[in-house]
Structure 1
Amino acid sequence: MLYLIDKPLADLGLRTAARDDNARIVLIQDGVLLDPNLDVPIYAVERDVDVRGVDLPDGIEPITYEDLIERLFANEVKTFA
């Protein structure tokens, strides 16, 4: 399952993803300001990172919007944005 997570609903989204053995998280918008402590693949949308002027913590992989679109079509999605 692919979880889209923005900051306002981050607690709920991260708790939900933590219970999913197949979770993959994409941080979007202000979600890129987070540093989730989960042992799952975590991505952040590059453009959102650049706009906010932040450096990603180790373990969070930047992806483009095009990458995000591909993942949205290839996976079941839950959004917390």
Structure 2
Amino acid sequence: MPPEEATGVRVHLDHLLAERGLTLTELAERVGITVVNMSVLKNGHAKAIRFSTLAALCRELRCQPGDLISYELPSSGHRG
């Protein structure tokens, strides 16, 4: 199961990068994190994100946090 299916958190970094004409490497350099960590975030494998990183991403992508991430209820048959 992909990590975003387990948590319901979706990362829309691919879409924003394409709209802004930026590469993952360029964004990582501007934000000040490694390309590996940026890739982990982009692919939905991050377990957490610092508010300072989120703010830097929003600054560089000229977006709001809700443009970058969204939440959908996980589609498991189990309700707790």
Higher strand share: 1
TM-score (norm 1): 0.28
TM-score (norm 2): 0.28
Higher helix share: 2
